Amino acid sequence: MIRINQLKLPVDHEPEAILKKAARLLKITPEEIRDFKIRRRSLDARKKPDLYYSYTVDVTLTRESAVLHKVKSPQISSVRDERYRFPVPGQQVLKNPPVIVGTGPAGLFCGLMLARNGYCPVLLEQGDNVDKRRQQVDRFWKDGTLNPRSNVQFGEGGAGTFSDGKLNTLVKDTYMRNTLVLELFHEFGADAGILYDSKPHVGTDVLAEIVKSMRQEIERLGGSVRFGSQMTDIRIENGNVCGVLVKSDRGEEVISTQTLVLAVGHSARDTFEMLLQHGVPMDPKSFAVGLRIQHPQRLIDLSQYGRTESKKLGAASYKLTCQTAEGRGVYSFCMCPGGYVVDSSSEAGKLAVNGMSYHARAGENANSALIVTVTPKDFPDAGPLGGIAFQRRLEERAFKAADGKIPLQLYKDYCDKRISKEAGDVEPQICGRWEFGDVRSLMPESLNMALMEAMGNFGRMIHGFDRPDSILAGIESRTSSPVRIWRNETLESEICGLYPCGEGAGYAGGITSAAMDGIKVAEAIACRFKPLR
């Protein structure tokens, strides 16, 4: 197979132009290409408003060696088609099916891989299935009725279900797990473009249907998924997991298992507290907190594309970073083109926000979190759960700032410590109840100062980013897990058979990396145990 890198074409090119240019670069006719696949597509905006796509494509020919001998170019090389391979099963006998706690990307992908290889996993989810969950979330956004067990954070698909559905990651793909994750998302309903776009996304509306299809596949293959089933404790004998205590509408029961995957997500605070009581080793982890900012999407399009008409390209995104004079890192996070700021609270009397986009990214505003790094030195408590105490303190302030609604403040008023009275030219795009409040009071002043210092830099990177009427909302406190649960080279905790997994355990930072870690844990289980069927 021959790979062509940096094949450039105008963004408005016709589909057949890729094949024709590939043939031209190889000095052959298009008819001589037996097979053709796009591996990667990225946008080259260095000469905006003249925009180009840069492609990496793989082609299969009947006489590849002769073509490679004739064509000498650093753009063109011979490659092998590498594929993901699940490990050969181990020989240890499983007494009971593996239990996976959580149906976010880590839990779903772990469950799918185990189900496809005969391990019949049992998935426990304290929230509801995605259809019922969406109804509960819509009601919460409308009237503030919070279900603490099924909300934006908890339920089928995890917190990522109500997000932009970004599928990019910085994790190296040495074992083809990233490739597999994208292929599986495509298999269960995502557009083919996610297989090669440099910034793939699916959107919350499409993602909800994908996770449902994945769950149905797990059940078809002999696994089971139990919603409304909260793990409240674990059973341990002689340093080994032997079961879990589960609470549901049917009461309490113990499910026996010697293999327990904790894919609980970054907001499973009660689970972290329970694990600490059992002496499960964990450490506080640095993360970041901040505020959501909204701008007109056309402002971002103009900056990134050099034009405001961008239907073919879709809404533009950005990524901004800054190091302050005092050494704090400030950066944009979870940028949602054409998206909405959403109330993502999961505890009574506390409020947190996140960003969300639908597949079309057709909203009027762009939003992202502007977050500032915090370390255990910033936490009020020195123990492993100090980061949770820090998060809760911020979320309590956010809840009080606007009587339980999302507090908003225009950027200039935030700088001047003045509560806003009305919006400027930027109209809030919010899922959830909101009102103007004292956003400046939510974070420690050192973090506010860091954010304002960074905003000056960001305004030079994107003209108008620091406009006075850009809208701030808070608090963005759930950027990643505040703990890391220790695991060894076999991916187990100090307690044998306990597998910390995904973002909540501190080993991932987004949908794709969490899914990859779920696959990794499934591999570790398979390497030890025989399938059940």
Q: Same domain for 420 and 387?
A: yes
* Predicted pLDDT of residue 308: 84
Cis peptide before 419 (omega within 30 of 0): no
Q: Same domain for 254 and 387?
A: no
User: How many distinct structural domains can be found in the chain?
Assistant: 3
Look up residue 460 and give its two tokens.
């030079």
Residue 91 counted as domain residue: no
Buried-state track 187-206, b at ≥16 Cβ within 10 A, e below 16: ebbbeeebbbbebbbbbbeb
* Predicted pLDDT of residue 81: 85
Kindly calculate the radius of gyration of the chain based on its CA atoms and give it in whole angstroms: 24
Residue 231 counted as domain residue: yes
Last residue of a domain, one of 435, 453, 476: 476
Q: Same domain for 248 and 137?
A: yes
Q: Same domain for 138 and 224?
A: yes
Residue 497 counted as domain residue: yes
* CA distance linking residue 466 with residue 293, whole number of Å: 10
| Angle of the 204-220 helix axis to the 130-143 helix axis, nearest 10 | 150
Query: Of all residues in the chain, what percent are helix, strand and coil, respectively (each to 5)?
Result: 30, 25, 40
Contacts 24+ apart (CB under 8 A), 117-120: 117/86, 117/89, 117/522, 117/526, 117/531, 118/222, 118/531, 118/532, 118/533, 119/94, 119/223, 119/525, 119/526, 119/529, 119/531, 119/532, 120/221, 120/222, 120/223, 120/224, 120/532, 120/533
Chain centre distance of CA 103: 14
Look up residue 183 and give its two tokens.
């292929």
- Cβ atoms of 511 and 166 closer than 8 Å: yes
Residue 84 counted as domain residue: no
* CA distance linking residue 74 with residue 160, whole number of Å: 40
DSSP 369-429: EEEEEE-GGGSSS-STTHHHHHHHHHHHHHHHHTTTSEEEEEHHHHHHT----S--SS---
* CA distance linking residue 154 with residue 299, whole number of Å: 34
Both ends of the chain: CA-CA distance in Å? Answer: 37
CATH code of the domain containing 45: 3.30.70.2700
Which helix (H) or strand (E) segment holds residue 261: the answer is strand 260-262
Q: Same domain for 463 and 490?
A: no
Say which DSSP state 160 is in: G
Q: Same domain for 388 and 457?
A: yes
Q: Same domain for 57 and 42?
A: yes
Q: Which residues of the chain have pLDDT under 70?
A: 310
Residue 87 counted as domain residue: no
Residues spanned by the domain of 312 = 286-476
Provide the Cα torsion 366, 157, 352, 169; round to 10°.
-50
Provide the Cα torsion 403, 405, 409, 415; round to 10°.
50
- Amino acid residing at 400: K
Give the pTM.
0.96
Q: Same domain for 207 and 322?
A: no
* Predicted pLDDT of residue 533: 87
* Predicted pLDDT of residue 62: 86
Residue 533 counted as domain residue: no
Q: Using one digit for the tens of pLDDT, what is the confidence trace for 196-230? A: 999 999 999 999 999 999 999 999 999 999 999 99
Say if strands 471-476 and 329-336 run parallel, antiparallel, or are unpaired: unpaired
Burial label for 59, CB within 10 Å (0-12, 13-18, 19+), is: buried
Residue 410's DSSP bridge partners are 471
Q: Same domain for 279 and 290?
A: no
Residue 89 counted as domain residue: no
* Predicted pLDDT of residue 63: 87
Residue 347 counted as domain residue: yes
* Predicted pLDDT of residue 256: 98
- Amino acid residing at 133: R
CATH code of the domain containing 493: 3.50.50.60
Q: Same domain for 424 and 352?
A: yes
* Predicted pLDDT of residue 157: 97
Sort residue 11 into left (φ over 0), alpha (ψ -120 to 50) or beta.
alpha
* Predicted pLDDT of residue 132: 97
Q: Same domain for 341 and 436?
A: yes
Q: Same domain for 313 and 206?
A: no
* CA distance linking residue 330 with residue 509, whole number of Å: 17
